[in-house]
Structure 1
């Protein structure tokens, strides 16, 4: 695999890994838009096992008892702050609603990840000059 390709991503919950010592495991935290609107709860974190970095948040919203739940696929670059049980991101609810939905079959493909990064206007992590700015290092 070259440095110009997306990598296979794994759900943190499907591995035996944990978040780095001293960092907060934000799974289950509420996500708030930049306008303070509820987006949903972080269901899982997608990690890049090569660099041991979190690359995306999987955020569940809507539904009742798990029925009809939608899952958003949000780059960690959107994280601007973390409180006791809340993650703040720099996107609006409307913008997130228009993003590609999380699809576990496509989540590790370069085309799918490029579409997600493009929608949110972030540089993909595999491109030259990328600097991790989101969780666990919020701006």
Structure 2
């Protein structure tokens, strides 16, 4: 069955999502979307990888957020999550300087941390 509530306005190219700001409920900028993890069979976005912290890219961490935790806010022109910086400081992360391999166990860890339904 086709979802008639989806309009061309709801669609966006993944390259345009990268760089979109992410805010908490208080309107504080937490970071930006650095990448999107997509299920290659269904085409669904599963995780947004948000860059957070650091200065001029140094010390910056990548936080995978379950896509279900993000809500787009047209007024802010970005995504809003019900998180604060303290929650992100303790969240699962990875950085560019380490060799990182996404595994189902890592995905389940992320989903549990954010109390989100697991893709795995």
Per-residue deviation, 1:87: 0.9
Q: Which residue of the partner structure matches residue 88 of structure 1?
A: 80
From 84, 101, 104, the equivalent of 1:106 is 101
Q: Hey, what does 1:131 align to over in structure 2?
A: none
Partner secondary structure for residue 106 of structure 2: helix
Count of residues paired in the alignment: 105
Deviant stretches of 4+, over 3 Å:
none
The answer for unaligned runs of 5 or more in structure 1 is 1-20, 127-139
1:31 Cα offset (Å): 0.3
Structure 2 equivalent of residue 137 of structure 1 = none
Provide closer, same or farther for how the CA distance between residues 38 and 48 of structure 1 changes in structure 2, counting only shifts above 3 A. Answer: same
d(CA) in 2 for partners of 1:122, 1:92: 16
1:69 and 1:92 mapped to 2: Cα distance?
A: 17
Deviation at residue 125 of structure 1 after TM alignment? 2.0
Aligned to 1:96, what secondary structure does the other structure show? helix
Gap change, CA 1:79 and 1:50, over 3 Å in 2: same
Which structure shows the bigger proportion of residues in helix conformation?
A: 2
Which structure 2 segments of 5+ residues have no match? Answer: 1-7
CA contact (8 A) 1:63 1:69 kept: yes
RMSD: 2.0
| TM superposition score normalised by structure 1 | 0.66
The superposition leaves residues 83-128 of structure 1 with CA deviations (integer Å, 9 ceiling, x where unpaired) of 2631111222221221110367232x111111100000011124xx
| Secondary structure in structure 2 of the residue aligned to 1:125 | coil
Instruction: State whether residues 55 and 76 of structure 1, in contact with CA within 8 Å, keep that contact through their aligned partners in structure 2.
Output: yes
Aligned counterparts of 1:37 and 1:118: Cα–Cα separation in 2: 24
